[in-house]
A and B are shown apart, each in its own frame.
Chain A
Amino acid sequence: MNYHRTLKSAVAALAVAVPLCWSGIANAQDAVNLRMTIWSANEAHLKLFNEIAAGFKKDHPNVTVTYESLPFETYTTALTTQIAGGNAPDMAWIFETAAYDFVNSGALYPLTDTLKATKGYNAEELSATAAERWTKDGKLFAYPFSTSPFAMFVNNDLIKASGAKTPAEMIAANQWTWDNAIATASAVGKVPGKGGLIVRDFNYQTWQNLASIWNGWGASPWSADGKTCTMTEKPMVDALTFIHQAAFKNKAMPGPGESVDFFAGNAAMTITQISRASLLPKDKPFAWDLVPLPKGPAGNYALIGQAGVGVMQAGKNAKTAAEFVAYMTNPENSAKLSQFFPSARKSLLNAEVLKKTNPLLSQEQIDKVVISGIATGKVIPGHTGFAQIQQAVRSGLDAVWRRDANIPAALQQICGQIGPLLKR
C-alpha cells in the first residue's frame, strides 16, 4: 500500500514538475541578451544608456541589453575582428568614415520598416541630409544618433596677451576669414611654449579632419560620386598650401611631432566638435569662446561628424535589436541622448532644447555654431574601403608635411595611389 502511495505521489509530482521545468526551459529560451558595442566608456553616457535599456525592459521583460566599450582608436578594427571571430555584437556604433563599408556590404539589418512601425517614432523629422550616408536603396541601415558640428574653441586670454584680434572682434567687424584667423594663430604661436591653431585629433595622420579647413576652399578629396580623385585640383592644392604655410612658415599650427594642448590653456584655437566643451578646465579656467569656422575663399561652410547605430545581420536577434534601436532613438530618448550627442531630429534642433543640454554654451553660440552647423554642414569625408584609402592618403601626405614639400607633386602621387581604390 505504502509502495503504491509513494509511486502515485511521485507520478503526481512529476506531472506538476515536468511542465514547470519545461516552461522554465522555454522561458530561458525566450530570454534575449542583446550586446551593443560602443566607443565611449564615459560613466555619464553609460548611465544614460543603462536607463534606456531599463526602459525597454519594462515592455520587453525578456530582453537584457548590455554595452561593451571598445577603445576609440581601434574601434572599427576590434568590431570587425569580433565579426570575423563569429562573435558579432547585436548592435554596433559606426563611425561616419566607416559607414559606407557597413551599409554597402550588407552587414547591417535594414531599420526603416521597424522605425516606421514604432508608434510615435516620427521618422520623417530626421533630415535626408543627415540620413544620406546611412541609407541605401531608400532603406536606412543605421540611425545617425549623433550629428555634431565642428567649431572653433578660442582662448581669448592668450590672443589678447599676444596683441592680436580675437575672433569675436573679427566676427563683429565681418573680418572672420581664414587669413585673419591664421594671423591671430600665428601671433600666439610665435610666443615660446604656446601653439596657434590645433586641428584636434589630426596629428598629421587623421587627415580627414582637415576638411574643417579645406571645405572653406571648396576642396574635396574625391568627386561627389566618389569615383575620381580630386586632390590635384586647385582648391585642394591651395588649401593644403595654406595649411603647409601655417605649420611650417607662420608658426600658426604646431608642426608634425609637436604636441600642444588647447584645453590645458596652451594654444590660441582648436577646431573640434562641440561635445569637447566638457574638456574646458575648471581649476584654472581661461576666457574662452566658441565660434563658427572662419570664412574661406569659397565662402561660409560647416562640417559635421556623425555616429550611427546599426543592427548586425549576423546577430541571432536582429529583429529585437532593431526594436531596441527604435526605442533608443525615439523622440523622447533622442532628447535625452542629445545632451551628449546632438540629434539631427528637427524637433530637437532648437535653441531651447540645445541650451538645456549644452549649459556651457551661450544662446548666440548655439544659434550660430550648433543649429546652423547641423543644418548646413557637410559630413566628414568617407568612402567604401575607407581604411585603405585613409592609409594611402596618410602615407602620401607625409611628403606634404615637410618644410621643403612639393605639394602638387605629392598630391599627384596620392591620386595615382588612391585612383584605383576609389573606382572599386
Chain B
Amino acid sequence: MAVVQQTARPEARSSSSFWTIARRDSLAGFLFIAPQLIGITLFVLIPLCLVFWYSLHEWNVLANTFTYTGVANYEMLLEDTSLPSVLGATAIFSAGLVIFNLSLALLLAVLLNQKLAGITIFRTMFFSPVVVSLVAWTIVWGFLLQKNGGINGVLLVFGIEGPNWLREPVTAMISVIVVQVFKNVGLNMILFLAALQGVPNELYEAARIDGAPRFKQFRRITLPLISPTILLTSIITIVGSLQVFAQIAVLTQGGPGLTTTVLVYYLYQQAFQFHFFGYGSTLSIVLFAIVAVLTFAQWQMRKRIVFYES
C-alpha cells in the first residue's frame, strides 16, 4: 500500500503542474465551444470540402460512375447559355428583396415605435408571418396569386382585371419578392425597432430646440445611430435572398421561361433533377463565392456607413 502511495504522489504532482489555471480555463473554453465546433465541422466544413471535391468530378448517379474531370465543370460555367439569365434573375431578386424588405421594415419600425395603447398588437401582427411555416405561407400565396385567385377577385370588385401574377415575367418576379418580403419583414422590423428604442431621446430634444425638422432628425440622428443594425440586417437579408428556394419551387418553378430561376433553384435542378451532381456542386461553389464576396464587401463598407465603428 505504502509503495502505491509513494508512486502515486509524484504523478499527482506532475498532473497538477500540467493543469495550470490557464490550461484548465482554455480546456473549459474548448469544451464550451466544442458542440458548435463539431457541428460546424461536420455539417459545414466537411460538406464544403466535399462539394469542392465533387465539383472536380463527373458524377453519374444512375450509372454509379465518379470520374475526375479537373476543371471541366468550371469551364462548363462559361459555356452554359442559361447561366447569365440565372445570375441576372438572382441579382434582380436579391436587389429587389433587400431594397423592399429593408425599406418596409424600417418604415414599419418607425411607425410602430410609438407609445400608444395597443401598439403591441400591431407589432405582433407584423411579426407573426416570421413564425408561420414557409411552405404553408407560400402555398396560400400561390392560391391568392392565381389568375382566378383571391387577389384578382378583390381587384375585380373594383372593376380591375388583374394580371396573371405568376405567369407574366415581370409580375412573377415581383410576386416572389413580395411573398418573401411579407414573410420575413417582421424580423428586420423587430431589429430596427430595438435599435430605434436605443437612440437617446435627448438628441431629438436638442434637435427640436435647434429647430431641426422631423426628416432632418431622422437623417442626421436616427439613421447614423441605427447604422450598425442596418448593416446587420442588410447582410442577413442579402445572404438569405441568395438562398431562396421554397418560394420559387412552390410558386413558379423558375418560370415563366427562366425569369425566376435563381441560382439555388438552378443548382437544385442541375444536381437533383438532371442528375449532374458534379456541375451542381460547381454552381454551389459559385454561390459560396458570391455570398463570401458580398459579405466581405459589406463588412469592409462598415467603416464608411456605420456610425460608431472604428
Contact = CB atoms under 8 A, between A and B. Distances in A.
Contact of B272 (A80, A105, A313, A396): A80
Nearest to B168: A402
Q: Which of B61, B149, B257 has the most CB of A within 10 A?
A: B61
B146 A257 contact: yes
Contacts of A399: 256-257
B255 A257 contact: no
A205 B253 contact: yes
A61 interface: no
Contact of A105 (B59, B60, B255): B60
Contacts of A106: 62-64
Given A77-B273, A385-B274, A257 B165 contact: yes
Contact of A395 (B61, B147, B257, B277): B257
A81 B148 contact: no
B148 A258 contact: yes
B167 A401 contact: yes
Contacts of B257: 395-396, 398-399
A98 B237 CA distance: 38
Contact of B274 (A83, A84, A387): A387
A387 B274 CA distance: 6
Contact of A80 (B62, B146, B256): B62
A290 B275 CA distance: 39
Q: Which of B63, B253, B274 has the most CB of A within 10 A?
A: B274
Nearest to A413: B257
B150 to A, nearest CB: 12
Q: Which of A204, A205, A256 has the most CB of B within 10 A?
A: A256
Nearest to A421: B274
Interface in A104-133: 105-107
Contacts of B148: 257-259
A49 B164 CA distance: 44
Interface in B252-300: 253-258, 269, 272-275, 277
Contacts of A401: 167, 256
A48 B165 CA distance: 44
B63 A256 contact: no
Contact of B62 (A101, A255, A258, A259): A101
A398 B62 contact: no
Interface in B51-85: 59-64
Given A105-B62, A105-B63, A205-B253, A80 B167 contact: no
A164 B148 CA distance: 25
A204 B165 CA distance: 15
Contacts of A83: 61-62, 64
Given A256-B164, A257-B166, A387-B273, A80 B147 contact: no
A399 B62 CA distance: 33
B277 A84 contact: yes
A19 to B, nearest CB: 39
Interface in A224-276: 255-259
A204 B60 CA distance: 30
Contacts of B274: 385, 387-388, 391
B255 A107 contact: no
A87 to B, nearest CB: 12
A200 interface: no
A102 B255 contact: no
A395 B60 contact: no
B64 A107 contact: yes
Contacts of A102: 62
27 contacts: A77-B273, A80-B272, A80-B275, A83-B62, A83-B64, A84-B59, A101-B62, A102-B62, A105-B63, A106-B62, A106-B64, A107-B62, A204-B167, A205-B255, A255-B164, A257-B146, A257-B165, A257-B166, A258-B147, A385-B274, A387-B273, A387-B275, A388-B274, A391-B269, A395-B254, A398-B256, A401-B256
Interface of B: 59-64, 145-149, 164-167, 253-258, 269, 272-275, 277
